[in-house]
Amino acid sequence: MGRQMSQLNKKATVLQQQLLNVRSEAKQQQLQQSKAEISAQQQSLEQDKMAYHQVLHRLTQVIHPFNIKTLEWQLFDDLSAG
């Protein structure tokens, strides 16, 4: 995900530079559309990243040897139920 985000950021930077240098109205519209598509991809990837981190956090809490809230040991049965 990090590599994909980096690639999208590079593409967005290149498109922004191209937008600054282009004079043709048709080309500007095309670049604007491409920029909007990249922005949508960035937002989707950011949402995926947040979901991944939430699942990872939840998994970490479930398999932790201590219950995070009560600070008591979690037994195997407790882990199976979580």
pLDDT tens for 12-70 read 999 999 999 999 999 999 999 999 999 999 999 999 999 999 999 888 877 777 777 78
Indicate if the pLDDT at residue 80 is higher than 60.
Answer: no
Indicate if the pLDDT at residue 79 is higher than 60.
Answer: no
How high is the pLDDT of residue 61?
78
How high is the pLDDT of residue 76?
60
Distance from C-alpha of 15 to C-alpha of 13, rounded to nearest angstrom:
5
State pLDDT tens for residues 68-78: 778 787 766 65
